[in-house]
Amino acid sequence: MNRLAILGLSLLVPLAGSPAPADVSCRDYRPYEFRLDRTLLPYSPEEIAYADSHLFGAAGADGFFVYAEGDPGFWVEVAHPAVTGFVHAVDVSGTRAWVAADDLLVFDVSDPSSPVILATIPIGARCVRSFGDFAAVGRQESDLVSVIDLQNPSAPIVTDLPLPALPGGAAPGVSRDVEIENGVAAFGFDEGLVFVSVSDPSAPTYLGGLEVSQPVFDIAGQGGLWYAASALAGLRIVDAADPTAPFELASVSGSYRAVLLLGDRVLVGEMRLLDVSDPANPVVEQTFGWNNARGYVSLGGERIVGTFGRTASPDPGEFLTFEIPDETPIPLDGPLPFGQMLYRAVDGNRLVGFSDGNLECWDVTDPFDPSLLGLTAADYGYGFYVQHGSIDLEGDFAVSGASNTNTGTQVSVVEGWDLSDPSAPQRVPVRYVGTDMGAPRVRLHEGFAYAAPGASSLNRFTVPNLGTAGVVFPAADVISDFDCANGYAFSSGGGLEVFDLSGSMARIALFPVPAGYTNSLALDGTTAFVTGGTWVYAIDVSDPHAPSLLGSIDLNPWVWRTPTLLRRPIRIGDYLYVATPTNIEVVDVSDVTAPVRVAEIRWRPEFPQGLMNYAGVLLDAPGTFLPPQCLLAVSAPLPEATPFLAAYPNPFRDRITIDWARLGNVGAASRLDVYDVQGRRVRSIARSAQQTPAIGWDGRDELGRPVAAGVYWLRAQRGEETSSRRVVRLR
């Protein structure tokens, strides 16, 4: 059976003899973020600068440091000169590093590994930005900035500029950041922005200001436009083409301490990428979700380093090195029907899974152009919400495990599904109902159904009728996951347990692991990959009676956020993909005796339509891996408006309803597809003929996220009748 799983989600494996994708041009579908590596730091950086292949950082009470790049994406400390007081900021220009602390310090960094002090200027500095032999400095004192002349390092000249109140009447307060463009220094203060002319460094002049009423932590500017990041006031986009009369063009809500310009895009705060090609109407492209960003620098091209503060001892900071491609990937129009199918299984060219309260059956002969064969309501009739645990498929029969999630008596269900007519899946009349299983994991193997009940046993059922628990295999510990092969079951829980399903019908081996427990498992030939704690173990099961350890790797340095939640390893070629709630760790297992962690993929991408790609393997956000084939750069054509499809209200805010009566074919199945103006499918909703035809759209995509305001197309189909309509979603 062609099925592997990640967090209960299935791998679609291309079938021998299945039709090849259409002959269309292909392209690189790299994700926006490809994470190269993380460097953990013993301190929390306040700001970083990049020059000559080195990172220069201000680390607060821990001083000033210099890092060089070792392996790509990995940074090694090469200098940490002694600095008195709290270091707020750093800037590098040429061979000079300007360090804002209780004094303003200037270092010669022509040899970055051996900084040499050039000047100590006795002013309390909060931020600094240099230009030639000069620097604009925000002071630690309120309402004060300075310009430093360092043409003679032995006799620096300081010119102070006291600042007036902002136009709204508030005093600027303490400075936070400064940037310079075309002779104008823009300062971020506690209460807003201040613009100062530094075209004559000996006579800086106040030009104007803009009150934000919240601290501006970081700013960036180009072409008279300034982007101000505030932890409390979001991102403010300010037009200062005339710096004497700046005004706000737009804002983006959020909490941001860092901002970096990338042409027509802006990277802010928790790694949120914005399209600012129209600065008056910024558009959020995606959010990566990394918190506590303190600063970003570009390494040139697509490579970026972010510095992040952390609260977890003993590693309070980190560098994150990643890439952002120049172009937006073209979204695909293939795997999206499975976007909300949290549990699914594949056998041959057929996929089954639960979505939107239905059991759906799909033809995936061409996984880039799947078609819905049929569906049926998966209502268990208990009057409360049911949480599906898993599903498995062999031929024309599927078995599923589920449980209610209310606070009363827990009910567990194991039942079968007859798919001999895939257009009308049927529930097998006799099913197992109990109170002992939670949401059980299930497998089909050699004519039997097996369920792991979340207890210290493995249960076997006859098929198709599953009315009794059948044979119970006692286990040493609670079974968290299991799989079957060649007459044996392999389970995780208290190590790796092996059960003989055809001979002794008992446990025949228990292989302990150093972690003491295991929480997920995947079989790959004669190797079982098992996770336990932060470890991944490769175990030889060629002799099921005597499992032996081949190799292991500790992923703790990379999964500190969720160190005990490694889930669902899957192997594709020489690489093992190990899922956590926040990412996917990639491990090279070409030599299973010496696994090597090589990269990480973010787990919750927000691409157009939620798609990303790594090493030729397409991944949608819920976690479905599709074949590493040439990806199709195609989108569905936009529908044309037709007069007989009624949708109301239009425009709408929260929900739009379709009048299906005008489509006729009352006894046929119904389907609603939603497209954006670029022809990309945003949502697909289907109903069987037995269900209510009142399908509407709640303004959300396949992943349940609200879509942006704008124009969308609805395409409704019932039986052979199809109609469409242009609709508008309001904010």
Backbone region of residue 401 per phi and psi (left: phi > 0; alpha: psi in -120 to 50; beta: other values): beta
Answer yes or no: are the C-beta atoms of 230 and 192 closer than 8 Å.
Answer: no
Helix, strand counts (H, E) of the chain: 0, 65
Note the pLDDT tens digit of each residue in 251-277: 998 888 899 998 888 889 877 888 898
User: Residue range 362-388: average pLDDT?
Assistant: 65
Note the pLDDT tens digit of each residue in 511-557: 998 877 888 888 989 999 999 888 899 999 999 999 999 999 988 76
- Residue 466: name the closest of 487, 447, 491 by CA: 447
Q: Is 722 exposed, middle or buried (0-12, 13-18, 19+ CB in 10 A)?
A: middle
Answer yes or no: are the C-beta atoms of 622 and 9 closer than 8 Å.
Answer: yes
- Residue 541: name the closest of 587, 494, 591, 592 by CA: 592
Class of the CATH-defined domain 341-572: mainly beta
CA angle 594, 625, 380 (to 5 degrees): 120
Q: Which range has the worst mean pLDDT, 87-91, 152-156, 341-345? A: 341-345
Please name the residues in contact with 179: beta carbons below 8 A apart, sequence gap of 6 or more.
129, 185, 186, 219, 220, 221, 226
Answer yes or no: are the C-beta atoms of 166 and 210 closer than 8 Å.
Answer: yes
pLDDT greater than 70 at residue 35? no
Mean of pLDDT over the chain: 77
Q: Which CATH superfamily is domain 646-729 in?
A: Macroglobulin (MG2) domain (2.60.40.1930)
What number of other Cβ atoms are within 10 A of residue 45's Cβ? 27
Please name the residues in contact with 334: beta carbons below 8 A apart, sequence gap of 6 or more.
367, 368, 369, 370, 626, 632
Q: Would you say the CATH fold of 341-572 matches that of 34-323?
A: yes
Pairing of strands 520-524, 527-532: antiparallel
CA angle 438, 537, 14 (to 5 degrees): 75
Confidence of residue 653 (pLDDT cuts 50, 70, 90): confident
- Residue 104: name the closest of 43, 162, 145, 48 by CA: 145
Taking the C-alpha atoms of residue 144 and residue 125, their distance in angstroms, rounded to an integer, is 10
Using alpha carbons, list the distances in angstroms from residue 590 to 150, 311, 609, 713.
56, 36, 33, 47
Q: Which range has the worst mean pLDDT, 165-174, 397-406, 539-548? A: 397-406
Taking the C-alpha atoms of residue 664 and residue 626, their distance in angstroms, rounded to an integer, is 37
CA angle 667, 670, 673 (to 5 degrees): 165
Domain 34-323 is of which CATH architecture?
Answer: 7 Propeller (2.130)
Q: What are phi and psi of 661, to 5 degrees?
A: -60, -30
Taking the C-alpha atoms of residue 418 and residue 441, their distance in angstroms, rounded to an integer, is 19
What number of other Cβ atoms are within 10 A of residue 635's Cβ? 17
Using alpha carbons, list the distances in angstroms from residue 723 to 478, 660, 672, 682, 716.
52, 10, 10, 17, 5
User: Residue range 296-311: average pLDDT?
Assistant: 77
pLDDT greater than 90 at residue 122? yes
3 state DSSP class of 29? coil
Q: What are phi and psi of 19, to 5 degrees?
A: -65, 145
Q: Which range has the worst mean pLDDT, 436-445, 446-455, 589-598? A: 436-445
Please name the residues in contact with 327: beta carbons below 8 A apart, sequence gap of 6 or more.
none
Q: What are phi and psi of 389, to 5 degrees?
A: -95, -50
Token pair 């991102």 is at which residue? 235
- Residue 105: name the closest of 115, 181, 599, 543 by CA: 115
Structure tokens that stand for 705 in this block: 């996220």
Q: Which range has the worst mean pLDDT, 139-143, 238-242, 512-516? A: 512-516
pLDDT greater than 60 at residue 637? no
Q: Which range has the worst mean pLDDT, 234-248, 561-575, 663-677? A: 561-575
Confidence of residue 605 (pLDDT cuts 50, 70, 90): very low
Q: Ranked by mean pLDDT, which of 113-122, 259-268, 563-572 comes out on top?
A: 113-122
Q: What is residue 33's predicted lDDT score, i.e. its pLDDT?
A: 41
Q: What is residue 3's predicted lDDT score, i.e. its pLDDT?
A: 24
Query: For residue 156, what is the enclosing H or E element?
Result: none
Tell me the H-state helices in 275-420: none
Q: Which range has the worst mean pLDDT, 289-298, 374-383, 495-504? A: 374-383
pLDDT greater than 50 at residue 611? no
pLDDT greater than 50 at residue 52? yes
Q: Which range has the worst mean pLDDT, 328-332, 472-476, 514-518, 571-575? A: 328-332
Taking the C-alpha atoms of residue 419 and residue 302, their distance in angstroms, rounded to an integer, is 49
In terms of C-beta distances under 8 Å and separation of at least 24 residues, what long-range contacts does 139-148 make, across chains too?
Answer: 139/175, 140/102, 140/174, 141/174, 142/171, 142/172, 142/173, 142/174, 143/171, 143/172, 143/173, 145/175, 145/178, 145/185, 145/187, 145/194, 145/196, 145/204, 147/198, 147/201, 147/202, 147/204, 148/104, 148/121
- Residue 131: name the closest of 199, 51, 204, 56 by CA: 199
Q: What is residue 344's predicted lDDT score, i.e. its pLDDT?
A: 66
Answer yes or no: are the C-beta atoms of 557 and 566 closer than 8 Å.
Answer: no
- What separation, in Å, do the N-terminal and C-terminal C-alpha atoms of the chain show? 47
Q: Which range has the worst mean pLDDT, 407-411, 466-470, 627-631? A: 627-631
Taking the C-alpha atoms of residue 612 and residue 58, their distance in angstroms, rounded to an integer, is 34
So where are the chain's domains? 34-323, 341-572, 646-729
Strand ranges, E, within 80-191: 89-93, 96-100, 104-108, 116-121, 125-131, 134-139, 144-149, 157-162, 175-181, 184-189
Token pair 């449980």 is at which residue? 403
Token pair 């709408």 is at which residue? 652
User: Residue range 315-334: average pLDDT?
Assistant: 57
pLDDT greater than 50 at residue 61? yes
- Residue 252: name the closest of 230, 226, 271 by CA: 230
